Amino acid sequence: MNRADKPVVVFGGGGFLGRQVAQELLSRGYRVRIAQRNPLSAVAIRSLGNMGQTQFVAADITKADQVRAALTGAGAAINLVGLLRGPMQAAHVDGARNIAEAATALGIDALVHVSAIGADSASPSAYGRTKGEGEEAVSAAFPKATILRPSILFGQDDQFTNRFAQLIVTGSSMPVLRAVPVIRGQARFQPAYVGDVARAIALAVEEPGRFGGQRYELGGPDIVSLDEINRWIAEQIGRDVRFLPVPDGAAKALASVTGWAPCAPITRDQFQMLLGDTIVAKGAKGFAAFGIRPGPLAAFAPAWLTQYRRKGRFGATARA
């Protein structure tokens, strides 16, 4: 694929992972076309490339005609669209199928579909089930698609380490109690650095003949529990708090009663997902197949967690 000729279309390119993917592609000389419902939310990406290197187009992946229009003239497609609530069937299955079918019809060279560890059409959670069905739909329509299943992602603007840090700051500010409730603290994750995942995606675009038609599970070098993650973050930001485990019964009830609300701490489906671990399956192909040595959380997160210390970067990391 000629990097300067046909653009790479990134569906959902304005999100956390999308911005990193765009930056990686632009640094490699690709033209990038960001396709999403509201392209204005991604205009900051324009400054990452040279003049004329970025394009923006409005596209709803559940609308086949809009997907086809977004892919017209492109050389590769990347699907990053994912929802934790809302119309998952439409986004994860119907939308993924629309992209794969349009890519085949238009003769697109490469398709990279980003799914998630735990994707399984038989999953009890709607997220896991629809992600699994989406993978099946993509493979049926575009057999040479590269399917990537990352674990939870971390990075400077993530909703992972930053969210826990904010909760810890709030808990440490509470009079007397100074506590943070933790749901399913024993659930294990294998956090992956967003930059490493973006690099794997770019390599899959560059070499579809090598990586296409296969699935890869992308997890970082460490397997940690939610409880361990919370305690590590608290130490990094110098906050002295107690972590109170929430019984499963109480957590499930909370998710069932309040999970429908936009600002709910956890949905019923998210609780269901926490009943299992989000780690790379034994024997699965991963970062090593791309020649990538993934970086650990401890190597990156301290740089942005300093904002949560009482005195910023001048604050102590030991609990005070």
pLDDT for 52: 78
List, for residues 242-267, the tens digit of each pLDDT value. 999 999 898 889 888 876 666 667 88
Q: Is the pLDDT of residue 270 over 90?
A: no
Residue ranges of alpha helices (H) inside 242-294 are 248-258, 268-274
Q: What percent of the chain has pLDDT over 70?
A: 94
Nearest by Cα to 149 from 8, 284, 20:
284
- Mean pLDDT value across residues 136-158: 97
What number of residues does the chain have? Answer: 320
CATH of domain 8-154+190-218: 3.40.50.720
Beta-bridged to residue 114, according to DSSP, are: 148
| CA gap 286, 31 in Å, rounded | 27
8 A C-beta contact, residue 231 and residue 243: yes
pLDDT for 319: 46
pTM of the predicted model as reported, rounded to 2 decimal places: 0.92
Q: Torsions phi, psi of 78, nearest 5?
A: -130, 125
- Mean pLDDT value across residues 281-294: 97
pLDDT for 271: 85
Cα three-residue angle 305-272-214, rounded to 5 degrees: 80
8 A C-beta contact, residue 57 and residue 33: yes
Beta-bridged to residue 189, according to DSSP, are: 224, 278
pLDDT for 113: 98
Separation in Å, CA 117 to CA 108, 193, 197: 26, 15, 13
pLDDT for 320: 42
List, for residues 108-120, the tens digit of each pLDDT value. 999 999 999 999 9
Buried b (16+ CB within 10 A) or exposed e, 191-219: bbbbbbbbbbbbbbbbebeebbeebbbbb
8 A C-beta contact, residue 84 and residue 127: yes
List, for residues 51-89, the tens digit of each pLDDT value. 778 999 999 999 999 999 999 999 999 999 999 888 999
Q: Which residues contact 136 (CB under 8 A, 6 or more apart)?
A: 121
Q: What's the N-to-C CA distance of the chain in angstroms?
A: 55
List, for residues 179-232, the tens digit of each pLDDT value. 899 999 999 999 999 999 999 999 999 999 999 999 999 999 999 999 999 999
Mean pLDDT of the chain: 91
| CA gap 95, 83 in Å, rounded | 12
Q: Which two tokens stand for residue 270?
A: 């998210």
Q: Is the pLDDT of residue 3 over 90?
A: no
- SS3 of residue 99 by DSSP: helix
User: Strand runs (DSSP E) across the chain, as ranges?
Assistant: 8-11, 32-36, 54-58, 76-79, 110-114, 146-150, 153-154, 179-183, 188-189, 192-193, 215-218, 224-225, 242-246
pLDDT for 302: 96
8 A C-beta contact, residue 293 and residue 304: no
Q: Is the pLDDT of residue 145 over 90?
A: yes
Rg (CA), the chain: 20
What is the bridge-based pairing of β-strands 188-189 and 224-225? antiparallel
pLDDT for 311: 75
pLDDT for 317: 60
Q: What percent of the chain has pLDDT over 90?
A: 75
Running DSSP on this structure, what letter comes out for residue 307?
A: G
Chain mean position to CA 150: 7
Q: Is the pLDDT of residue 4 over 90?
A: no
